[in-house]
Structure 1
Amino acid sequence: MAAPMLRGLPAALGGFGRGFWAAGSGLRPPAPLRMAQAAYNARRLGLDLSGFYLPHAGSPEWQRGPRALRKLYGRWGSASGVEAASLWPEPGQLQELVRHQAEWEPSLQQMWSSLRAKELEQQKKQRERQKLMAANMAKMPKMVEDWRREKRELKTKQREEKARRELLLSEARERFGYSVDPRSSKFQEMVKELEKEQKKKHKLMKRRQKEEAAGSEATVNAGAS
């Protein structure tokens, strides 16, 4: 960093050339330039990078732990001074590793079996869905016919109710001689009375029909005897 700064400093001070600070000019560089030149002479650290670092008793735990020792032995082998037997997990740790592997690292056969089971389940659901759709399509004509029948019955009931209401209104006009509000209490009372009369007429009609049927059956039996 200092060398580019020194090369660019004369130009920044006034466009002087590189030979301006030559020995024959009789001039010395300014004080900031001399300080930069003196501070740039850094000493070597004197590190021995030919070998590798071995942790000692005072090293932090992350340098002395089992994982660090495994990495050290894996990189340098027996030259690291680490015994290979000490890197083997204890029985409890080995069981934990086996359990962890069985839970989170399934084998290829297990993954294939799981995928196959999911595929079969999806195929089963698809077949059931197609079967349900086919059954619903088979019921569709009957459902449409039932809907049309219910619609016809509803229209018939609406026409009957409309005719019944018009009949009640006409009877109310005949009785009271003027138009009656269907929501009034008088109209409601009249409706109840008319319904009672209609029920009585219906019962009488059914009784007559029953008596006529019994009489005709007795006549037929008498003629047969």
Structure 2
Amino acid sequence: MNIPSKPTPEGPYCIRFYKHYGRSPAWQLVPQAMTYLQESGFAGRSDLPPDFTESCVVAIGEDGKAIGFLTYDCGRESWIITLSYVVPERRRKHIHTALFYALRDKAIEQGNVVSIDSTTHVNNLAAQAAFEAQGRTKESINYTYSLKDSSDGKAPQSRGRSFEEMRMPEYLLERFDAGPDGLKNMQAFINEKAAEGYSLHQAIECSACQWVLIFRRNSAGS
């Protein structure tokens, strides 16, 4: 098994495990995490806060407050991450990855755990890129056909989209090797996607030459 190396953390904090997240500093961040998912459009119809008895691993700052956490459900052979979150001002500092690697090491030490599983929204491409950089493997994609909106019971607005709009995904995630020509090659690739109707939404640097590029479909008439 290829285990990625641990990142170098930025800023002082410690990582601790708790049997029940309801008795950890993480419980104060859970409402904030759920609000973020809902406002970003990343929450599904059935997404609920984790049960207070679920286990968690927490990153705790110098002031004793949680700055990030993962809650997880411990099965006999598989652990399932049910919710993960890092406060906005501490993102892009390897905290989420440090939390995941701490959980991975605990599972390896226990000995009987076969896998650590997780899901995320199809449009949460930043999370998908982070998961892949951590060594996680995409194994399946779930589909749903909504007959009613969960909030008002009416038909979903997406039914009014044209066939062309529905055929083109709203977001694209592309891995890119910059190669010897560096950013020149990347710009050419971005121009190709622009001709296809996509603009660059975010670029995530994984290494000196490896990038994950997130493109967003241009709206009609833009």
TM-score category (smaller protein): under 0.3
Q: Which has the higher strand share?
A: 2
Q: Normalising to structure 1: TM-score of the pair? A: 0.16
Q: Which has the higher helix share?
A: 1
Q: Which has the higher contact order (CA 8 A, sep 6+)?
A: 2
The structure whose Rg is larger is 1
